[in-house]
């Protein structure tokens, strides 16, 4: 029966049999993999929690050797399949792969050709979704703290970040040395949309041919600008602009409930109705949050502002048959803070899927 599936996301340094079994034990049947090592060379290297970073960003970009090849992707897919998981999506390009696509720089055409090759590899490896976040500032401006129940450490936002971005940084990661005196020029929202349109015009034909859906994550955190750079989807209705670019099935949404809940306008339930009814949602980040831009905290699934049972009801009513994954969760006080937080979220989601009908 076509129904909502439960998935699980793993970061690059977590790709091993033990974690595949952990995901399966939590009830996941589908898996999402992040191939970009957000933490490399930074304060969070080797840690499992969410990167926050400082004005210099998360970590060093560019460790991509062999990762996006058909061989490597097929191997991961097979290793996961052996543990009962279907590798269904990859999440986020390494910034070195598309820095000049985001910045409209001199290597843009060359990077577009490399991206086309990557999309073909993803399709050839039998993975149906490439999720991306078209952003210059990336996931910046977040803070860490004991924001969830019982003082569980999670991430949040406390006001706008207007620090200019030094040249050498893109998508909150470092491409190399950061410039001491040169910053990225401020551009308009219109210009950023134009860059996205060009990116999709170049890649959608390849994606369609390869059977891959390109799925756009909304801007996290959803400010109008972060570090002086424009955001694309920082209100729920702005996803319409994406869908209007092309009616292709390969032009899809990676819908992040937490990010939509953090937005200041509209209503996350109406947005869910609209976008799942059209069949344009590839998969869903399932998390909860308290507060909205410019101040909010990520919290446990059962203590935030979002009514998660109502969410499942809407998904069922609209026959959403993709998968939902826990996105981030608060860290729990124990020997395995990340795994405990994830197990809690997965159990909660599994119970929602079992009990909520429409
Ligand atoms: Mn998300």
Query: Could you tell me which residues come within 8 angstroms of residue 287 by beta carbon, excluding any fewer than 6 positions away?
Result: 256, 257, 258, 298, 301, 326, 327, 328, 329, 345
Query: What is the structure's pLDDT at 154?
Result: 96
What CATH number is associated with residue 13? 3.20.20.150
pLDDT at site 315: 97
Q: How many domains does the chain have?
A: 1
Residue 1, pLDDT > 60, answer no
Ligand 1 centre from 311 Cα, in Å?
15
Percent of the chain whose predicted confidence (pLDDT) is above 70: 96
What's the confidence (pLDDT) of residue 11? 92
Nearest Cα residue to 122 out of 241, 233, 282: 282
* CA of 55 relative to ligand 1 center, distance in Å: 21
pLDDT in tens, 35-86: 988 877 665 665 666 666 677 777 888 788 889 999 999 999 999 999 999 9
CA of 309 to the centre of ligand 1 (A): 18
Cβ burial, residue 340 (10 Å; 0-12/13-18/19+): middle
Q: Contact, 15 vs 75, CB < 8 A?
A: no
Ligand 1 mean position, distance from CA 182 (Å): 31
- Give DSSP secondary structure letters for 107-125: THHHHHHHHHHHHHHHHHT
The mean of the pLDDT values for the chain is 94
Average pLDDT on 9-15 reads: 93
At residue 63, the pLDDT reads 80
State the pLDDT at residue 270: 97
Residue 38 is predicted with a pLDDT of: 83
Burial status of residue 31 (CB atoms within 10 A of its CB: 0-12, 13-18, 19 or more) = buried
Q: Please tell me the distance from the alpha carbon of residue 98 to that of residue 83, in angstroms, as a whole number.
A: 33
| Residue 357 pLDDT class (50, 70, 90 cuts) | confident
d(CA 32, CA 83): 14
Residues with CB under 5 A from ligand 1 (ion): 256, 285, 327
Residue 47 Cα to ligand 1 middle (Å): 19
How far, in Å, from the CA of 259 to the mean position of ligand 1?
6
CA distance 292 to 309: 20
φ and ψ at 193, to 5 degrees? Answer: -60, -40
pLDDT computed for residue 2 by the predictor:
75
Give me the domain span that covers residue 195.
5-355
Given this model, what pLDDT does residue 47 score? Answer: 65
What distance in angstroms lies between residue 248's CA and the mean position of ligand 1's atoms? 23
Determine the average pLDDT of the residues in 300-312.
97
Query: Ligand 1 centre and the CA of 28: distance in Å?
Result: 18
- Please count the residues of the chain: 358
CA of 281 to the centre of ligand 1 (A): 13
Mean pLDDT (whole number) for 207-232: 97
164 CA from centroid of ligand 1 (Å): 24
Burial of residue 199, with CB atoms counted within 10 A of its CB: 0-12 exposed, 13-18 middle, 19 or more buried: buried
Question: What percent of the chain is predicted at pLDDT more than 90?
Answer: 85
The Å distance, Cα 217 to ligand 1 centre, comes to 7
254 Cα to the center of ligand 1, angstroms: 8
């Amino acid at each position: 029966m076509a129904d909502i599936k439960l998935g699980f996301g793993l970061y690059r340094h977590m790709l091993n049999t033990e974690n595949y079994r952990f995901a399966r034990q939590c009830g996941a049947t589908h898996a999402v993999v992040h191939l970009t090592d957000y933490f490399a060379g930074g304060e969070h290297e080797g840690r499992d929690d969410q990167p926050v970073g400082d004005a210099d960003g998360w970590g060093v970009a560019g460790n991509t050797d062999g990762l996006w090849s058909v061989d490597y992707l097929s191997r991961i897919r097979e290793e996961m399949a052996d543990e009962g998981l279907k590798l269904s999506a990859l999440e986020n390009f390494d910034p070195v792969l598309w820095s000049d696509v985001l910045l409209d720089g001199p290597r843009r055409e060359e990077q577009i050709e490399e991206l086309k090759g990557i999309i073909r590899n993803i399709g050839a490896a039998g993975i149906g979704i490439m999720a991306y976040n078209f952003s210059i500032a990336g996931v910046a401006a977040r803070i860490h703290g004991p924001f969830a129940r019982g003082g569980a450490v999670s991430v949040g936002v406390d006001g706008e970040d207007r620090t200019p971005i030094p040249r050498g940084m893109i998508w909150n990661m470092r491409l190399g040395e950061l410039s001491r005196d040169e910053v990225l020029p401020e551009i308009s929202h219109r210009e950023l949309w134009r860059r996205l349109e060009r990116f999709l015009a170049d890649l959608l034909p390849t994606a369609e041919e390869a059977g891959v859906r390109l799925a756009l994550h909304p801007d996290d955190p959803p400010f109008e600008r972060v570090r002086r750079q424009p955001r694309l989807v920082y209100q729920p209705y702005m996803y319409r602009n994406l869908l209007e670019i092309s009616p292709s099935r390969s032009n899809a949404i990676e819908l992040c409930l937490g990010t939509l809940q953090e937005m200041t306008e509209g209503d996350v339930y109406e947005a869910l109705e609209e976008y799942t009814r059209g069949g344009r949602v590839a998969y869903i980040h399932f998390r909860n949050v308290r507060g909205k831009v410019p101040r909010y905290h990520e919290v446990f699934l059962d203590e935030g502002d979002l009514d998660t049972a109502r969410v499942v009801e809407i998904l069922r009513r609209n026959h959403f048959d993709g998968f939902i994954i826990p996105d981030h969760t608060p860290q729990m006080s124990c020997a395995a803070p990340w795994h405990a937080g994830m197990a809690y979220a997965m159990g909660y989601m599994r119970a929602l899927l079992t009990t909520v009908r429409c």
